[in-house]
Amino acid sequence: MTSRRRAGGARVRTAGARQRATRAAEGHGSPPTLEFATGTPYDSYVAAEVLHGLQRTVTDVPEERAFLVTTQIMELYFGLIRSEWRLAQRMLDDGEVTAATAVLARSVRYFEGLNASWGALSWLTPAQFNSFRDALGEASGFQSAMYRHLEFLLGNKSEPLTRPHRRSPVVYQELIEALGRPSLYDSVLALLARRGFAMPERPDPAAEYAPSPLVEAAWVEIYARYGPGDELWALAETLTDVSERFSDWRYRHLMAVRRSMGAKTGSGGSSGLSWLQRSLSRDVFPELWSARTVM
């Protein structure tokens, strides 16, 4: 049995089939192992004690804890989805279309959990939210750096939206780098260009993506020429799934805000509901939607 140090410093002892069989035989299979030389291997891997120590509420209002836990769960999903999209992007850049599509399809499943998280707050009334909202100060989901990474990967680039993070050098630098890199959709369009489709030039990857008739025509042709079983067709459908699920998250966010605080000004200084409505109106991978009108 060996041990490996994972990120964060905790040491996790590895174990193969032989070690597992030996431990089961020693305990006759039931109950499971109850004695360990140090802390449980589960906590060494999951860091459950650390996780449960991160719910540091700022009020004694019982409802705040649910609000905080739900927000932290969403942050974990944001990080997971970013990791998967960046992996898919690298695969697309290497021409591994089928593998990239499988990773993107996997990320669609994560949105089931992410979007369901809003349901955990569906009971939150304006009175309950107001009971702890003032104590949150200017804290707002608008300031989530990991969510901003997702927006940038989707092509929704905006340099001003990196500015809230200037006082956090590492976070800010990562966002600036993400702003200047091609988006996931840029990698998709570069793939289509290599496959012979006419694509618009993107001289500045930091600029917000603008829909193009050339891209729309490419998707129309892909749908007309190919079908299930073709890798470009499958990529188009999976990207549409990603776009739809991301829009679902935006819509659920909008409705959660509308239900808990109506059209009040946002905590982070935005106009609140109207800001979210404008965000919802921007399509992700827009030509995949407009192409359906042309087909």
Binding site as annotated, residues for heme: 253
Long-range contacts of 159-164 (CB under 8 A, 24+ apart): 159/206, 164/268
Alpha carbon distances (Å) from 206 to 159, 175, 202, 239: 8, 11, 9, 21
DSSP state at residue 23: H
Strands (E), 6-147: 11-13
What residues are designated binding site for substrate?
133
Q: Strand, coil or helix: what is 227?
A: coil
CA distance 204 to 215: 17
Run of H or E residues at 46: helix 41-46
CA distance 103 to 100: 5
Q: How many residues does the chain have?
A: 295
Exposure string of 120-134, with b = 16+ CB inside 10 Å and e = fewer, is ebeebeeebbebbbe
DSSP state at residue 94: T
* Token pair belonging to 233: 């067709």
Alpha carbon distances (Å) from 158 to 112, 148, 153, 214: 27, 9, 12, 24
What residues are designated binding site?
133, 253
Q: Is the peptide bond before 31 cis (omega within 30 degrees of 0)?
A: yes
Residue 105: exposure state from Cβ atoms within 10 A (0-12, 13-18, ≥19):
middle
The answer to whether 153 and 85 are in contact (CB under 8 A) is yes
